[in-house]
Chain A
Amino acid sequence: MKLVGAGYAVPHWPEQWPGGGRSLAEQKVIYEELARADSPRLLLSFVSTYHAASTLMECGSDEQRARYLPAILRGETWCQGFSEPGAGSDLAAIKTKAELRGDHYVVSGQKVWSTMAQYADKCLLLVRTSSDGPKQAGITFLLMDMKAKGVSVRPINQIQGDEEFCEIFLDDVEVPVSDRVGEEGKGWVVAQTTLSSERGLTLMELSYRMKGALNRAADLIRQNKRQDDVGVLREFGKLVTQVDAACAIADKFLENRIGGVERIGDASIVKNSYSSALRAYAAFGVNVGGIEEQYRAPITFGDLNTGNWMADFMNSYAWTIAGGSEEVQRNIIAERMLEMPREPKSWVL
């Protein structure tokens, strides 16, 4: 809330919002400085200020924007109900069903990998409203109240002891038709907007935070008295340049998007550049930190630097798996950007 007051919480929003309308250059400075100062990422607000906001700004109705955006600035938190047990990389295979009854949908099914769903007020929900035709065509995008009757949430214990992700169970949950984004059956396109905001803007914030956080790695080198170890210095120099390249491609991506010359696959390149740099960053810390990093330590959840490099290393998988895994991004780059042919659809055991 202090960041909202100072106008630093949502620098990526348009200028009619308080704290919005910052230039890209200003945004980069804000993110790099926040990371340098070790300021916690606004993790609880991540989905609300990026995913929900960009979905509403691009695809929502005026009435939805007026109702939800001010609430997000006041601190209302959102989660994302996209993946399901049977629909991960193949997201369009979702089965959670919504049936239109009068002025509301009745939703039943199960969602998984919803970040911070246990604390969320609202949910960006993908549901199936039709099973006819191509699987993408039967998908509808809803805004669901997490306190509605029939919603239950179970946090999932992760390998680093965190409970960042949750399962959401939906049992005849009623969602008003006024909370549908876009038309019925057109939810897949809306979902692409949500996901592309993740692969674009958020990655600029994260890349510049990673650049700012390189000073944590420098501290670690000094703490372990490795500052004259040529092998460590080379590895560090390589890492610094890799992080700089991840920042440069995130910049270029936004420049292209603003200039209207974004190409299919660009966002995937940005995401994979970030996730591999992040993995290298954490692996560097685990290596230089030595045995100390193998002892469990009290850690701050949700930040780039939890205080333990082994935990950071485990956390780095969130970016090579979530939001379209590294492998899915490679397919997009190869098939849609490099135009390498798709494999035949059908297969027989």
Chain B
Amino acid sequence: MIELAELHDSAQKAFPADKLMPERDTSWALAAEMGWLMIELPEDQGGLGLTRQAAAAIHYELGKVLSSAPLIPAMLALRGIAGAADFAARDEWIERICCGEYVPLNMLPARIEAGADGKSNGTVPGLFDADMASHVLVGCGGAYHLVPLDAPGVRLVERKLWDQSRRVFDLVLEEARLDANTLVADGALAASLHDDIARSAHLFLAADSLGGATAALEMTIDFLKMRKQFDRPLAMFQALKHRCADLKTQVVAAEALLWSRATGAEQVSVTDLGAMKALATDVYRRVTEEMIQLHGGIGLTDEHPCHQFMKRAMLNLQLCGGLDHWREAAGRAALRQ
């Protein structure tokens, strides 16, 4: 537990709360230098050998400052590559990533059709900051492929996001080859990798969301204490206090669920983690909606950061399965018990 507190602490020092959306490339370099990319990698593979919970602690802190460094997709890709025991170039790639090379995993479902001639057509959305990468890890059709971005029939198209803290790309495949040369894992191994990666993805997105929700709520309460109308601080009005108290309750309860499921996540079902991620992102959305409303007019201006939190929350909701998907899955799972 001391270890976790130290991680929170060092992340706060590296990314201080008063600097929102720190510049991407320097943030990325700093994160790599701190060794965060290899935080979960076993020590015999050159990593720090810490738990998923430790990685989630980092994402919680980065969520607070609306980090622009794409650490989540990078950690997911590393987990996929490191787990692919049969992948010939595995060790080389682990080393490249740990040295700071960026390889993202797609965080939205790919739509690819494989032709009879072995060539593929389609789109892989949800590749964050792929402009920084030379290769991307693509999970599709029950397999993982490491695709070089200079391969024939492959091109990146940026999809301009409302969320200004991140950049996202579609990988467009036109008669591109996803074959034995690009294959990282398939079959039963790919299926188990998928679950393993999904567990991390839900924990990390939930941590990012609840870090963001915590920061957004704190900013909102500070604003209400400072802003005076009718000769008193807005924070004195019970109508507003109760809304803040309800948000605090929801954030704290969602956080309790996050950390309880982060401990020994291997034993928690992917559905339970997905449902937890749905709750966390939904709470984040609610906090940021209220953040704008409670800030009044200033919350609608581009120069105030309220909207940045709201845009990030709305995007997090959509990644790795949305609310409807996970609520339905959790309902079905509970019905089977």
Contact = CB atoms under 8 A, between A and B. Distances in A.
Contacts of B324: 234
A241 B337 CA distance: 14
Contact of A233 (B235, B248, B278, B331): B331
A230 B248 CA distance: 30
Give the one of B233, B260, B337 with max A CB within 10 A. Answer: B260
A38 to B, nearest CB: 16
A335 B235 CA distance: 9
B330 A340 contact: no
A245 B241 contact: no
Nearest to B254: A245
A233 B257 contact: no
B334 A240 contact: yes
Contact of A269 (B241, B249, B329, B331): B249
A163 to B, nearest CB: 32
Interface residues of B, number: 39
Q: What does DSSP make chain B's interface, helix, strand, loop or mixed?
A: helix
B311 interface: no
A327 B236 CA distance: 15
Interface string A205-232: 0000000001100100110000100101
Interface of A: 214-215, 218, 221-222, 227, 230, 232-238, 240-242, 244-246, 248-249, 251-252, 269, 272-273, 327, 329-331, 333-335, 337-343
B327 A245 contact: no
B326 interface: yes
Nearest to B276: A241
B332 A252 contact: no
8 contacts: A227-B335, A234-B328, A237-B326, A246-B253, A249-B252, A252-B259, A335-B241, A340-B235
Give the one of A238, A249, A335 with max B CB within 10 A. Answer: A238
B241 A221 contact: no
A214 B324 CA distance: 20
B252 A240 contact: no
Contacts of B232: 341
Contacts, number: 123
A343 B236 contact: yes
B256 interface: yes
Given A249-B257, A334-B242, 5 more contacts: A238-B327, A244-B257, A272-B249, A273-B253, A331-B245
A233 B324 CA distance: 10
Contacts of B252: 249, 269
Nearest to A228: B332
Contacts of B329: 237
A339 B334 CA distance: 39
A269 to B, nearest CB: 5
Given A234-B331, A248-B257, A269 B235 contact: no
A341 B235 contact: yes
A341 B238 CA distance: 10
A120 B212 CA distance: 50
Contacts of B242: 327, 330-331, 334
B335 A218 contact: yes
Interface string B233-268: 101101001101110110011101101100000000
Contacts of A327: 242
B256 A248 contact: yes
Contacts of B259: 248, 252
Contact of B248 (A238, A333, A341): A333
Contacts of A236: 330-331, 334-335
B225 interface: yes
